[in-house]
Amino acid sequence: MKKKVNILITTSAVALIALCAIQAYLIHNTYQLKKDVFIKETKKAISTIDNTVEMDSLAEVWYTYLSESLIEYKKNNIQKKEALNRFRPITDSLNHLFVAYYKKEIANRNLEYDIQYKKDIKSIVIFDGEKMDSIFSESNGENVYSFGEKFSKEDEVVMSKARWFTDMDYENEINNDMINVSLDIEVRTIDYINIIGWKKIVFKQMATLFVFSVVLFLFVVSLMFYSIRNLIRQKKLADIKTDFINNITHELKTPMATLGIATKSLKKTEIHNSPEAFSNTLDILDRQNNRLQKLVDQVVTNSLGSEEIVLNKEEILDDTYFQNVLKDFELSVQNKNVTITSKIEFREVHLSIDKFMFTTAILNILDNAVKYGKEEVDIVFRTYLKDDMYEISIHDNGIGISDKEQRKIFEKFYRVAKGDLHDVKGLGLGLFYTNQIVKAHQGNIKLESKQDLGTTFTITIPTHI
């Protein structure tokens, strides 16, 4: 059964991980789709800005200036680097006009978000017949010529790419003759935009989907957790039920078998003829009947919760009370190798408790110390007064309790086992009932234990209840 539960838990966990992966994949795809649609709509809204008279005029200015610089280069009046250096100042001087115009046009589009724009010149090439002279190329690591606002490459969204071709005629003196020469120029540009806060906008559009996905995920996890917890609880209850039935059956067999034998003995003539034997048989019947009654009472009474226990409190003197409890317990285990050391609070303390109930709680702990003890059982019984709280400590040198079992030790019907076997008889109600009695006295009980080093139970109750 345990193996099946583990398989079910593992399968459920794998299924949940797979569901999360699928959901994450779908959300990611939805995000990409929303992002692409949003950027496409933005591009469409501003696509005509670059195709206006104003923008063409600005482009004509820098294009003309570039051509003039390149003509000087082709005439061998300046070097290629100087031609580019002449061009850079014009890009800087035109840039503020470019930015101002673009911001005005963006504002006219009445978009609900801000956009930055820039135009990068990627390459400038002169064609001379079949020869190609690369004046400038970004791929060679040269500084980019830009119009517009500055923003990082991570924020760049490509708006459009363009290749500009032009041919200009100029006169060039060759061998003292003036000859008309055609200058063919290719300029490649890329327009970029940066949509300020586009991620926030896309996420906002997906807010409903995110919320629904999170709620659905939490619902599935909660449902799985609830189902597995109930399954484990049902398995635990089934194990407890089986264990309890086996225990109670075992406990009932002995007195019932003895009653059966005693009843048959009463039918025998020799028993009737012997008053002593008849009396002894009746005594056996009476003892076994009492044993059965106590067993039933233990099951009924020890199953009560702390809120169901009715206390008949009386005021007792701590030293007298605990010494009497320990003396009675020593008498009950006098045929065993048990040593009890006691140290009662030196101050005189009056406690208000239900003597019968509280004695039962103390004896349950002491009985366990003997049941789960070693060949020589040493018990140390101490009490302390701390402010308004009275503390009772019971330490033994027994086999100890594992960390796993410590969490269950006060549960109903739970008994500490060695391997798969319960070596000690009982119904698993003693410590549960002890805990309920202490709670009914508005106190608490805790334990500290290490295997093979013994166990310490500590009961704390208020001195004034």
Q: What is the pLDDT of residues 315-343, one digit of tens each?
A: 999 999 999 889 888 877 887 888 999 99
Segments of 34-130 assigned E as strands: 115-128
The tokens of 436 are what?
């309920």
How far is 387 from 84, CA to CA, in rounded Å?
91
Q: What is the mean pLDDT of the chain?
A: 80
Which residues have CB under 8 Å from 333's CB, separation 6+? Answer: 370
pLDDT tens-digit readout, 133-145:
888 888 776 667 7
- Stated as kind and residue range, the H or E segment containing 278 is helix 275-301
Residues 34 and 198 sit within 8 Å (Cβ to Cβ): no
- 188 vs 124, 142, 322, 328, CA distance in Å? 7, 14, 100, 105
The residue among 456 and 75 whose pLDDT is bigger is 456
Q: Side-chain half-sphere of 186: how many Cα atoms within 13 Å?
A: 14
Residue 227 has pLDDT above 50, yes or no: yes
pLDDT tens-digit readout, 356-391:
889 888 988 998 888 888 888 999 999 999 888 999
- Residue 221's SS3 state is helix
Burial class of residue 243 (count of CB atoms within 10 Å of its CB; 0-12, 13-18, 19+): middle
Residue 279 has pLDDT above 60, yes or no: yes
The tokens of 453 are what?
């080093």
- In this predicted structure, what is the pLDDT of residue 148? 82
Q: Domains of the chain, with CATH numbers?
A: 47-205 (no CATH), 314-462 (3.30.565.10)
- 432 vs 312, 365, 396, 412, 415, CA distance in Å? 20, 11, 19, 5, 10
DSSP output for 175-188: TTEEEEEEEEEEEE
- In this predicted structure, what is the pLDDT of residue 298? 59
Which residues have CB under 8 Å from 78's CB, separation 6+? Answer: 69, 72, 86
The residue among 377 and 252 whose pLDDT is bigger is 377
Looking only at the bridges linking them, the beta strands covering 338-343 and 377-386 are parallel
Helices marked H in 109-191 — which ranges?
Answer: none
At residue 126, φ and ψ (nearest 5 deg) are: -105, 130
pLDDT tens-digit readout, 407-450:
777 776 666 554 333 444 445 567 887 888 899 899 999 989 88
Residue found under tokens 């009370």: 321
Segments of 175-279 assigned E as strands: 177-195
Residue 458 has pLDDT above 90, yes or no: yes
> What pTM does this model have?
0.45
CA 114-115-121 angle, 5° bins: 165
Mean pLDDT of 403-410: 77
- In this predicted structure, what is the pLDDT of residue 174? 61
